[in-house]
């Protein structure tokens, strides 16, 4: 039997028995699993093969084999084959010996032809079978019989009028049945005769991990029954077997095993060995691995049942550290990045730590709670929305119908009402904190174990923030501050979470807090605060005290920040005259601060100079530019007339004027020269050169003291983009310029 088979080949000459040690057939009780199994078959193209994986059997005696792994899939395939009308003389070679009643029923069923089951209008196929003369009432309470009848009802519903189409595909449903002749599963790689490939990691490891251990049969039963069922339910709809997801699970289990047991490289006892091969694991450690499997796999079902909630916590506005759905559904990529590992493993520990009864929140519970507390009926859609947003908002507006009058009703609910019902979801709020910490920390293979163990501790004690090894200390302090703010001033929670979810911030809102603090301190403290070591340690109490003022306009600050970011390169020139941002000499103009601080200064200038009551941010931006330019031209450059204009010699001042003229003519210097080029080399001022292009550009300068500017990133070597003044000075009128910015 060591080859690839379809169901006809499998039962052609030999009987296949489900032995007594196996459990009942249960897939019929899981509609989702059956539907996915059928949909995979329905989606097969003509002549396409569908591989549903490996099965293990052992030979009892000549022409009799017992199946010890894969009985749920095989039994479902037998039922499907019977339903579509495959030759039942072959199907009769399948025996279900788990229970005598189960086997008697299945033997009788397979003797019949599905097309000859007596018709009863409007009834399910299970009712038709029960109405057959051969059906015995003693089978009504048999769990396998009930599950088989449920499965047939699902198959009948899914394949309505498609029997013949599916029948033609049955022969192309392939699997590999591996026979261990002496009832022992080999621990070595088993090479398949026809396929010529090795068994997947999961098949090898099942044999290895369960060999020569106590409770071997119990672990095998868990593997084939409980774990396999969960993975079938979790796998993606377009994935035909559980090979990939099994391999992914074993990959995660290996990592967690080496982290928990501090398994280091042989040649470097300081480095965790993430290349450790479970195939070579020693006997005394096998049960440790099996126990990890036993807590991880059930968690995958919980994650699968709450995908939207959990993914939202991993998600920033436009991207995320990890795609949870792809991770647990067994797509081809099961090799996670370091940050994906850190977040995913931490989520597993968190959910395991929550330890709620059924690990899933039922919509009926929400509907009943709202009815009881507010006398309003809501639908499942509204209940789902509450479930999805429970940890995101402090209040929610919901719509339903008054339970007494039946009329439409809208109410606002306070999330605090759900304390107890939603403890598990509130607990999942920690995933957002994990995401922020991981996103803003330098995590490598060498400190991954510290990160995972640290977040595992954080699960049990939120006051550990600031002491978590392997994670950015400042980000830990920021998360601690946010938690304190949420506890004292709930009204800030929604906007703070909105800011941290934005892709401009990705969990780190220090820039907004810097702006907020510096604006409140009135005089220009932005630079001091930005450079401050231990910002949160030194400023935390001040920040919390300032938040007592309930009129803090974080939303307005956030909106201005976003608007300026959209226009950053267009208006970057406003910073040229800021002494804490740019310096210059006769040869260079260079950025002395980093770009992050420079942009914060741009936002800061906008906020302190413009009336906060201007709510339209595009109008606000133009108001800021007009006011800032007039202030700079009249006071810093001291231009009063055209003569003053022409006499400008300072390179930084000339470039600032060119930036304004370009902007007014829709030519944006910093956009044109590229985002990375924020520094300038200067031609003129006696620098010798032999370049006709530069000579021509110098002749066209607007100023008496003629200069040409060439952008660069770090070192001025020539060859970088010039500021092409010819693009925007052709129509320049000095009087109009002076009228706009001076008079």
Phi then psi for 729, rounded to 5 degrees? Answer: -105, 0
* Rounded Cα distance, 532 and 539, in Å: 9
Nearest CA among 5, 2, 11 for reference residue 172: 5
Phi and psi at residue 173, to the nearest 5°: -90, 110
> 55 with 67: CB under 8 angstroms?
yes
Q: Are 519 and 608 in contact (CB under 8 A)?
A: yes
Q: DSSP string of 288-329?
A: HHHHHHHHHHHHHHHHHHTHHHHHHHHB-SS-BS--HHHHHT
More confident call, 369 vs 528 = 528
Worst-scoring range by mean pLDDT, 124-138, 189-203, 641-655?
189-203
Percent of the chain having pLDDT more than 70?
86
CA dihedral sign of residues 584, 585, 590, 593:
negative
534-568 burial, b if ≥16 CB within 10 A, otherwise e? ebbeebbeebeeebeeeebebebbbebbebbeebb
DSSP label of 264: E
Stretch (H or E) spanning 256: helix 243-260
**Nearest CA to 476 among 413, 534, 551, 545?**
534
pLDDT at 654 exceeding the cut of 50: yes
Residue 368 has pLDDT above 70, yes or no: yes
Pick from 595, 604, 652, 600: nearest CA to 628: 604
Beta bridge partners of 377: 401
pLDDT tens, 269-326? 667 777 777 777 787 888 889 999 999 999 998 888 888 888 988 999 888 899 988 8
Question: What is the C-alpha to C-alpha distance for residues 32 and 42, in angstroms, rounded to an integer?
Answer: 15
DSSP 117: S
* pLDDT at residue 707 tops 70: yes
Top-confidence residue, 550 or 213: 213
Whether 475 contacts 436, CB under 8 Å: yes
* 246-266: average pLDDT: 84
Residue 344 CA to residue 321 CA, distance in Å, equals 9
Could you read off the pLDDT of 349-360 as tens digits, one per residue?
Answer: 998 887 543 445
Predicted pLDDT of residue 213: 81
Which of 705 and 193 is assigned the larger pLDDT?
705
In contact, 710 and 617? CB cutoff 8 Å? no
Output 70 or 400, whichever has higher pLDDT: 400
State yes or no: pLDDT of 82 exceeds 50: yes
pLDDT at 659 over 90: yes
**Rounded mean pLDDT, 369-394:** 76
Asked if pLDDT for residue 437 goes beyond 50, the answer is yes
Chain mean pLDDT for the chain: 82
pLDDT mean over 628-653: 94
Rounded Cα distance between 436 and 8, Å, is 55
pLDDT band at 473 (very low <50, low <70, confident <90, very high): very high
Of 643 and 687, the one with more pLDDT: 643
40/94 Cα distance (integer angstroms): 23
* pLDDT value of residue 266: 62
Cβ-based neighbours of 185, under 8 Å, separated by 6 or more: 56, 206, 207, 210, 211
Instruction: Note the pLDDT of residue 530.
Output: 87
Mean pLDDT of all residues in 450-463: 79
Q: How far apart are CA 70 and CA 224, in angstroms?
A: 7
The domains of the chain, with CATH numbers, are 3-185 (no CATH), 363-421 (3.90.640.10), 472-552 (no CATH), 582-596+604-741 (no CATH)
Cα 42 to chain centroid, rounded: 30
Q: Look up residue 268 and give its two tokens.
A: 């470097």
The three-state (H, E, C) secondary structure of 159-185, written as one string: CCCCHHHHHCCHHHEEEEEEECCCCCC
Residue 190: its pLDDT value, please? Answer: 33
């Amino acid at each position: 039997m060591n080859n690839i088979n379809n169901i006809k080949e499998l039962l052609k000459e030999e009987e296949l028995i489900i032995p007594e040690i196996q459990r009942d057939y249960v897939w019929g009780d899981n509609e989702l699993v059956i539907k996915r199994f059928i949909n995979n078959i329905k989606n097969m193209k003509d002549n396409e093969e569908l591989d549903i994986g490996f099965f293990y059997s052992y030979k009892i005696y000549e022409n009799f084999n017992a199946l010890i792994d894969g009985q749920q899939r095989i039994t479902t395939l037998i039922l499907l084959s019977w339903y579509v009308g495959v030759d039942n003389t072959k199907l009769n070679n399948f025996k279900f010996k788990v229970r005598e009643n189960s086997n008697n029923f299945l033997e009788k069923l397979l003797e019949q032809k599905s097309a000859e089951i007596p018709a009863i209008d409007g009834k399910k196929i299970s009712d038709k079978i029960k109405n057959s003369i051969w059906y015995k009432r003693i089978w009504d309470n048999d769990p396998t019989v009930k599950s088989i009848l449920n499965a047939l009802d699902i198959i009948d519903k899914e394949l309505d009028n498609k029997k013949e189409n599916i029948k033609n595909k049955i022969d192309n449903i392939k699997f590999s049945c591996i026979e261990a002749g002496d009832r022992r599963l080999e621990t070595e790689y088993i090479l398949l005769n026809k396929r010529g490939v090795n068994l997947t990691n999961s098949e090898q490891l099942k044999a290895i991990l369960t060999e020569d251990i106590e409770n071997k049969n119990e672990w095998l039963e868990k593997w084939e029954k409980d774990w396999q069922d969960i993975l079938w339910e979790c796998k993606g709809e377009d994935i035909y077997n559980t090979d990939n997801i099994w391999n992914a699970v074993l990959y995660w289990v290996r990592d967690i095993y080496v982290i928990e047991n501090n398994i280091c490289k042989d040649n470097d006892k300081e480095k965790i060995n993430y290349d450790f091969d479970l195939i070579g694991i020693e006997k005394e450690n096998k049960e440790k691995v099996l126990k990890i499997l036993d807590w991880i796999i059930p968690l995958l079902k919980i994650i699968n049942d709450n995908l939207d909630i959990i993914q939202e916590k991993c998600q920033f506005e436009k991207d995320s550290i990890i795609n949870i759905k792809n991770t647990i559904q067994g797509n081809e990529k099961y090799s996670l990045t370091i940050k994906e590992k850190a977040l995913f493993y931490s989520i597993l520990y968190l959910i395991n730590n929550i330890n709620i009864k059924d690990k899933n929140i039922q919509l009926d519970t929400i509907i009943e709670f709202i009815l009881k507390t507010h006398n309003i009926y809501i639908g499942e859609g509204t209940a789902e929305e509450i479930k999805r947003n429970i940890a995101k908002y402090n209040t929610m507006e919901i719509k339903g119908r008054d339970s007494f009058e039946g009329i439409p009703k809208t109410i606002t609910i306070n999330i605090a009402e759900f304390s107890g019902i939603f403890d598990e979801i509130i607990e999942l709020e920690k995933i957002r904190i994990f995401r922020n910490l991981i996103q803003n920390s330098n995590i490598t293979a060498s400190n991954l174990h510290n990160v995972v163990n640290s977040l595992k501790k954080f699960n049990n004690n939120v006051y550990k923030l600031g002491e978590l090894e392997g994670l950015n200390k400042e980000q830990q302090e920021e998360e601690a501050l946010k938690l304190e703010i949420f506890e004292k001033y709930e009204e800030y929670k929604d906007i703070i979470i909105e800011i941290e979810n934005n892709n401009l911030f990705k969990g780190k809102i220090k820039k907004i807090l810097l702006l907020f603090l510096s604006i409140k301190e009135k005089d220009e403290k932005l630079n001091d605060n930005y450079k401050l070591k231990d910002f949160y340690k030194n400023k935390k109490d001040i920040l919390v005290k300032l938040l007592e003022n309930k009129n803090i306009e974080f939303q307005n600050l956030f909106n201005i920040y976003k608007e300026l970011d959209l226009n950053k390169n267009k208006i970057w020139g406003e910073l040229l005259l800021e002494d804490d941002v740019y310096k210059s000499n006769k040869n260079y103009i260079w950025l002395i601060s980093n770009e992050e601080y420079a942009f914060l200064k741009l936002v800061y200038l906008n906020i302190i100079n413009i009336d906060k009551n201007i709510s339209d941010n595009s109008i606000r931006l133009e108001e800021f530019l007009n006011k800032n330019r007039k202030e700079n031209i009249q006071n810093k450059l001291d231009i009063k007339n055209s003569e003053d204009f022409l006499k400008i010699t300072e390179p930084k001042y000339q470039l600032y004027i060119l930036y304004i003229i370009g902007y007014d003519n829709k030519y944006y210097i910093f956009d044109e020269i590229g985002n990375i080029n924020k520094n300038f080399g200067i031609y003129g001022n006696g620098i010798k050169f032999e370049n006709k292009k530069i000579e021509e550009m110098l002749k066209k300068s607007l100023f008496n003291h003629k200069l040409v500017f060439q952008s660069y990133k770090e070192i001025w070597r020539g060859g970088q983009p010039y500021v092409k003044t010819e693009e925007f000075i052709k129509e320049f009128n000095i009087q109009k310029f002076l009228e706009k910015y001076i008079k």
